[in-house]
Amino acid sequence: MRRSWYSLVFCLAVPTLVAAPPKASPAPAIQGLDLSGMDRSMAPGDGFFAYANGAWLQRTEIPADLGSFGVGHEVTDRTDRRVAALIKAAAASRAPAGSDPRKIGDCYRSFMDEKTIEAKGLSPLKPIFKTIDSIRDRKALAHYLGTTLRADVDVLNATHLDTANLFGLWVAQDLDDPTRYAPFLLQGGLGMPERSYYLDPSAGMAAVRAQYLAHVAAMLTLAGLPEAPTRAAAVMDLETRMAQVHVSREDSGDVLKGNNHWTRADFASKAPGLDWEAFFAAAELKQPEVFVVWQPSAFTGLSALTAEVPLATWKDYLTFHALQHRARVLPKAVVDQSFSFYGKVLSGTTQPRERWNHGVAVTNQALGEVVGKAYVARYFPPAEKARAQRMVANILAAFRMRIERLDWMSPATKAKALAKLAILKVGVGYPDRWQDYGGLRIVAGDAFGNTERAERFEYTRNLRKLGGPIDRTEWVMTPQTVNAVNLPVMNTLNFPAAILQPPYFDPKRPVVMDYGATGATIGHEVSHSFDDSGSLFDATGKLNNWWTPEDMQHFQASADQLVKQYGAYRPFPDLAINGKQTLGENIADVAGLAAAYDAYRLSLGGKEAPVVQGFTGDQQFFMSFAQSWREKTREPLLRQQILADGHAPAAYRAATVRNLDAWYGAFQVKPGRALYLAPADRVKVW
């Protein structure tokens, strides 16, 4: 994905009940480059991110309720306020029971009704606690674990974010046979972001572990369990053993290592310990005979733990995660305790977000495309969709010409690359067909039940894909999401409406600036079809090597160059960027920016862009790119991003410019400057 605005799912807000959502904020006043945010004392060649954003970085304080802040957060906040206003209008519309407007209104109001949530206490959890307590043998444990399986993972990013589940499910096209859907299973179960949080011996990580242990104990106390510190220590030991068998983030991003087909019978021999038949039955996966197991060694290790670790410890682990997973719809004491770790410790925030922010998130999660349909009707006019589609067409044309001009690629490989580009499906703004939420029951005053039913609805929707036809029109992001995504297996892109707004995409400023910001986003996502993972898939979405050995060798040499370039960046003395972990995103940044630059030139028909605000067209392009990455991040969250995410931090993504020859000419960057790369060292992948 192009942009990832970090907000931990458990940082819940606990202010006094807001009577109504805030008014939607207007678009920003600045149209064009933000000259006041620049630091002209910095030479562009010594620090381009600081040159474009230095004054803004100096004067900007990160809000107390955020772990990071920047232009993306401003756009997200404006979008959330607009969505909140739409939800409020739906709630006031007196729509009939069961209608979509009534559902989004009841969902939001139920979450905002803290008084009712407080009155219910933990009573909604009692049936779940009772089920956990009734686990008497390993088969019952397997059955319970199966009931927690949810479709909440992204196989291409190799992440599993929901700590409630030992494993995660992703239903997508089979990599070997893209004509059918397959159930992908991924590792999970950790309460902290990544295995290194458990295994890193540094003093900083040891301090985080101590605070997590205290958090687990506090949550078990809230759940009513005696001797909570002792039980929390056992839970911590279990999660540490899970982390020891987890596959690293870097290896999880390797498609070739992840594409492992196991038959149903294979699980008993390859991952003994868990009663897999009981697990699959409880997960309603009775029909599939073949699964894709993304991290086989992790499944072997995690399965063994279900047989080795005492049932009492497993029950305490499940109790903790049952409470933690549902913290957002439980009383204030649970919300506060959750925030004390996931907000303060992991993100560095000092106060939670306002409750309406999370009310919007809950409603989006439950009824995303219902809200999205209302959003695009109000805030994404046809003219803006058409303008974005013209930009997409220019960038695809530029990418096509770049492939045709490659002097190192053989005609055979070029032909297959062009065939893949030709059938790439680019969705702009919103999906061709809207999801039907008729089967989702939303009950006024039942915030807990609404989130449970919404999760179950989404899981069942994904299970229904198995055995059915492939749907390339399906979106994995809602229109109100400020982000974009490429799905190489589907050979499709999603560009939600919410990212196609100022300052990324603004009809009131020179078009060259839009190419530098949104154009680079589009080019980035197109490039993902040809990055280190995307390049392994052919035009049909099949995992198939369509490269000649010589072409692949050249591609890998360029990739190695980029790994080395990013591995040299060290945000902290004790922590560098992992060039291999971020390789796919870095390839997409380089190739996408190059394609966007060519497309901007193509759009002008050979003419030069006029000088605006004292900057030439090329300078406007690169400045817009750098200012689109404007962001400031607290240390705990930045460390988490470096360890767990496939994207490099924003400042280093802006440094992508050093690989484009045009940037050197635009800002007269000469040898001796910190960012200067000799022509042979500038990475040119596509």
Return the domain boundaries, the chain: 35-82+358-681, 124-329
Which whole number is the average pLDDT over 570-596?
A: 95
- The string of pLDDT tens digits covering residues 380-402 is 999 999 999 999 999 999 999 99
Tokens 């043998």 identify what position?
137
Q: Quick one: pLDDT band at residue 160, thresholds 50, 70, 90?
A: very low
Which whole number is the average pLDDT over 336-357?
A: 96
DSSP code for 185: E
**Widest distance between CA atoms in the chain:** 76
What token pair was written down for 489? 């297996």
**pLDDT over 90 at 232, yes or no:** yes
What token pair was written down for 303? 């399965």
Q: Quick one: pLDDT band at residue 534, thresholds 50, 70, 90?
A: confident
CA distance 348 to 161: 19
Which helix (H) or strand (E) element contains residue 496?
A: strand 492-496
Q: Which residues contact 639 (CB under 8 A, 6 or more apart)?
A: 204, 572, 575
For 405-428, letters b (16+ CB in 10 Å) and e give ebeebeeebeeebeebbeebebbb
Q: What's residue 531's pLDDT?
A: 85
**pLDDT over 70 at 162, yes or no:** no
Q: What's residue 685's pLDDT?
A: 87
What token pair was written down for 546? 């369509």
Residue type, 431: P
Q: What's residue 5's pLDDT?
A: 25
Q: What's residue 8's pLDDT?
A: 22
Backbone angles phi, psi at 101, to 5 degrees: -60, -40
Percent of the chain with pLDDT over 70: 94
Q: Which residues pair with residue 293 across a beta bridge? A: 185
Q: What's residue 163's pLDDT?
A: 54
**pLDDT over 50 at 20, yes or no:** no
Could you tell me how far CA 394 lies from the centroid of its own chain? 27
CA distance 279 to 144: 8
CA distance 551 to 466: 36
Residue of 173, 191, 195, 194 lying closest to 182 (CA atoms) = 173
Q: What's residue 28's pLDDT?
A: 52
**pLDDT over 60 at 157, yes or no:** no
Asked if CATH classification 1.10.1380.10 holds for the domain at 124-329, the reply, yes or no, is: yes
Which whole number is the average pLDDT over 221-250?
A: 97
CA distance 482 to 75: 7
Task: Write down the mean pLDDT value for the chain.
Answer: 92
- The string of pLDDT tens digits covering residues 41-57 is 999 999 999 999 999 99
CA distance 656 to 625: 10
- The string of pLDDT tens digits covering residues 26-83 is 545 567 999 999 999 999 999 999 999 999 999 999 999 999 999 999 999 999 999 9
Tokens 């870097």 identify what position?
250
Percent of the chain with pLDDT over 90: 87
Q: Quick one: pLDDT band at residue 92, thresholds 50, 70, 90?
A: confident
Q: Quick one: pLDDT band at residue 94, thresholds 50, 70, 90?
A: confident
Residue type, 662: A
**pLDDT over 70 at 673, yes or no:** yes
CA distance 572 to 280: 44
Domain 35-82+358-681, CATH = 3.40.390.10
- Fold equal for 35-82+358-681 and 124-329: no
Which whole number is the average pLDDT over 211-218?
A: 98
Cα–Cα separations (whole angstroms), residue 625 to 52, 493, 589, 609 = 9, 21, 11, 16
Q: Record the pTM.
A: 0.90
- The string of pLDDT tens digits covering residues 641-654 is 999 899 999 999 99
Hey, is 154 helix, strand or coil?
strand
**pLDDT over 60 at 341, yes or no:** yes
Cβ–Cβ under 8 Å, residues 645 and 75: no
